[in-house]
Chains A and B, each alone.
Chain A
Amino acid sequence: MNKSNISFAVNVSAALTIIIFLALTVIAVAIPGATGRYLAYKGMGTEHGTLIIILLYVSDAVAYVADIALFMLLRDVKAGEVFSAKSVSKLTVLSACCFAEAVCYAALACIFIFSSAIAFAAVFMGAILSVVRDVIAKAVEIKEENDGTI
């Protein structure tokens, strides 16, 4: 992958994070109405409605945090600051967000069984990001050692 391809890929990723940010805003607005319509369509009572709305809003908020961390990480990549403590901390935030999403969707699984699959996927993604974070942290350590070698 040459420099221009990497730059293009980073720009595409940044654009995606912006699109996701806008989508999350639309989702936040649509949650109450969509939840009401879904419950009515399924013939389910409204007793779970409050819990569903709260969990979806928490999930949306966590997704916002993850999206912002992702955008800031891409900004650091564009600036050439890849192997730094900042990148490690942003990957930690991303991993934590995935685990938080898993908790939200695991809680929803008592109402919608399919959300357990989403919870599992979120845990898996969180685990992958944890490993990537550990790899980058080690790379930062090696880079600092090399930078300090005269």
Chain B
Amino acid sequence: MINVNLDVMMAKRKMSLGELSSRVDITAANLSILKNNKAKAVRLSTLNAICKALDCSVADILEYVEDKEDGQ
């Protein structure tokens, strides 16, 4: 599964959800969905905006973790 480490990067950059929301022009509710791994898909434009706002790469935000079903 893909883990979203948005909260880790936000903590590193000392940025709140509200501030990130205003910078990337995505609602705080949607960012919260993304942060809590509840999103089904992420647009490339959204990733682009988040990486630009947090000055990081995609790998800092998204992490692949093998779960038990994938391992079988």
The interface residues of chain A lying within 8 Å CB-to-CB of B46 are 150
Residue numbers of B with Cβ under 8 A of A are 26, 30-31, 33-34, 38-43, 46
Instruction: Give min CB distance, A83 to chain B, whole Å.
Output: 15
Contact of A148 among B26, B31, B33 (CB under 8 A): B33
Say if the beta carbon of A81 comes within 8 Å of chain B: no
Q: Is the CB of A149 within 8 A of B43?
A: yes
Number of chain A interface residues as a range: under 10
CA distance A149 to B30 in the complex (A): 9
From A147, which residue of chain B is reached at the shortest CB distance? B40
CA distance A58 to B2 in the complex (A): 54
CA distance A54 to B43 in the complex (A): 59
CA distance A41 to B26 in the complex (A): 74
